[in-house]
Structure formats: C-alpha cells, structure tokens
Structure 1
Amino acid sequence: MEIYLLRHGIAEEGRTGMRDVDRPLTEDGRRRLRTTLKRASEAGVNPALILTSPYLRARQTTEIALKILAPGAVVLETGALTPGSDPAAAWDEIRLHRDHAQILLSSHEPLCGLLAAFLLGAPQVRLDFKKGAIVRIDVDSAGPHPRGVLKWMLAPRLA
C-alpha cells in the first residue's frame, strides 16, 4: 500500500475569537500547495481514498488535492488525523482501508512527522514536514507494527 502523508498548506494565523480548528489556508498556502501537488501528480499519485482531518485547513488542502490528484476519490473525515492524535490510532484508521493501493492523508504537525516515523518502524526518525509537504511511504503489512519504506518527499520549495 502506498501511503501519502500531506501536511496542510500555510494557514492564517489565529485571531482573537477564532478557534484553531477554523483557520483557513492563505492564498500563498493554496498556491504553494498546488505547485507541490502538480509535481506529486507527475510522480503518479492518484489515490482512490483520501482521509482528512476535520480541521478547516486540512479539508481545504483535501479539496485542492481532489482537483489535482484524484477527482473521483472518496473523502472521509477522521478525528484520528487531528494535530494531537496518536500515530497508532491513525494507523488503525488506515488499516480499515488496506484494500486501497494508494491512500492520501491530509493532516497536521506534529502528527505527520510522528506518523511517518511510526509507519517506518523507526520512532527516532524526524522528518521536517513543512506546510504543504507530501511524503510517500510504502507499507507491505497491515499488522499493528508497520515497517514501511520512505520512497520520496516533496516540499513546496523543492517542487
């Protein structure tokens, strides 16, 4: 299974009275995200399923990914992809959909980095997940302790 971890694009700073869950993407965040996702499309990313955090900026990131990568993909919101979620809980959610060859997850830091390390079976690994970055990790087993392989990472400045 090819798992694509996508950190949301650049979002507006929080304002008085605005909940963190409601912060939208900035125009610059959208632009950079489109650039990165176009490169990901060229690399063959075309998931049939996208799992997304319910936070606004992650859902907006998912909408852009749908247009560029997978117009026909099914989108499911899950609380397992919020910023403070447990990587093992996120993996349990992914395992429910292991029949898909490619799954895209639209999420946040610190979960993206922690989940990448969990999927690699290497908790000491720390990936620098910039906003709008996407990582491909291939996982062959759907057991409780994955041992994935990091295939590539694209960040907005590298795309």
Structure 2
Amino acid sequence: MIELYLIRHGIAEVATDNIKDEKRRLTKQGRQKTEKVAQRLKKLGLHFDCVATSPLVRARQTAEILVTAGLSSQMEECTHLAPDGNIHNWVVNWLEPKNFAPDTKLALVGHEPCLSRWAEVLVWGEGKERLVLKKAGMIGIKVPETGSPLGRGQMFWLTPPKYLL
C-alpha cells in the first residue's frame, strides 16, 4: 500500500483587490504554525518520499516548510493539486505513471474543499462532503499501488493541527 498524506496549506493572507488568490502567501502565524506541525511530524518519525504541491504560493510555501524540516528531500509541483484539480486526472496523469513502490509515502499539499473531497473519493468512491480539513491539518490514506485507488483507500489519520502542536 502507498501512504498518501493530504496536507492543507497553512493560514494565508486574505484575497483582496491587490492580492489575487493564487499569489496569497502564508501569514506569519500561518508559517509559525506550519513549522511547528512539521517539527511534530518529524518527531513522530514521518518521512515522505516526495512532497507534491499545488502551484499556488501558499501551498508551495507549506511544502517548502515540510522539506526544510527534513520530512522529504524531494518536492514537485503538481497542477492537479490546484483548487480546481481533478482526482481522476491526478490518478491517470500523475500517480499511475510514476509506478511507486508499495511502501511509498507521499505528501500532497493543497487546498480545501478539494483535499477532503479527494479523501472521500479515495475511501468511499464518491464525495460526500463529510470530511473537513483544517489549515495545516492532515488526512492519511493508504491506497493500493496497482489499479485505480478510487474507492479502495483506507483512512488511517485525520487530525487538525491543534493535536500536533
């Protein structure tokens, strides 16, 4: 099984007329909280083979914090993790072609409601709008390394950041 860790970006600036959504950066508080979460994950012994991130600034900054904390040495931009990303396209165009080993651990840094919807599709085969992922929170799902993972995942972790601080 491949372990996927769906991680929502940290607290970011509010979109305004001067700051477009895709350019929003982590706030000072968002950066500090995300750094604390990353340090806690490291203390728990987590290490990701790759951190895939949405191309939006706040997600990239969150992914960079994970890498800087030593949770991974690889970071890759993945357009499928943008707010309008489609899980089916991600599976076919990103996950399956990479042919990951069974014990691979991947961090996917993105946005809500996309990540919680993805988690539902991976576990239940469809979005049910039941899961909520807080900023800097994480959902862990084990998926089979072969065949479509949709509806075949096993959730093993759902935690808001307050339980990691």
TM-score, normalising length: structure 1: 0.90
What CA distance in whole angstroms lies between the structure 1 residues aligned with 2:158 and 2:70? Answer: 16
Percent identity over paired residues = 30
The partner residue of 2:123 within 115, 120, 123 is 120
Residues 143/90 of structure 1: CA separation in 2 closer, same or farther (3 Å cut): same
Residue 137 of structure 1 is matched in structure 2 by: 141
Deviates more, 1:144-153 or 1:23-32: 144-153
CA contact (8 A) 2:50 2:72 kept: no
Residue 16 of structure 1 is matched in structure 2 by: 17
Residues 26/158 of structure 1: CA separation in 2 closer, same or farther (3 Å cut): same
How far did residue 130 of structure 1 move?
0.6
Residue 42 of structure 1 is matched in structure 2 by: 43
What CA distance in whole angstroms lies between the structure 2 residues aligned with 1:88 and 1:126? Answer: 20
How far did residue 150 of structure 1 move?
0.7
Deviation readout 1:3-52 (Å, 9 max, x if unpaired): 11010000000121321100000011111112222232233321121111
TM-score, normalising length: structure 2: 0.87
Residues 91/125 of structure 1: CA separation in 2 closer, same or farther (3 Å cut): farther
Return 5+ residue gaps in structure 1 as ranges.
Answer: none
Residue 75 of structure 2 is matched in structure 1 by: 75
Specify the code of the residue in structure 1 equivalent to 2:83.
P
How far did residue 154 of structure 1 move?
2.6
Specify the code of the residue in structure 1 equivalent to 2:12.
A
1:154 correspondence with 2:159 = yes
What CA distance in whole angstroms lies between the structure 2 residues aligned with 1:134 and 1:156? Answer: 8
1:55 correspondence with 2:56 = yes
Return 5+ residue gaps in structure 2 as ranges.
Answer: none
Residue 90 of structure 1 is matched in structure 2 by: 90
Aligned residue for 1:96, secondary structure, equals helix
The partner residue of 2:113 within 110, 115, 132 is 110
CA contact (8 A) 1:14 1:23 kept: yes
How many residues align? The count is: 158
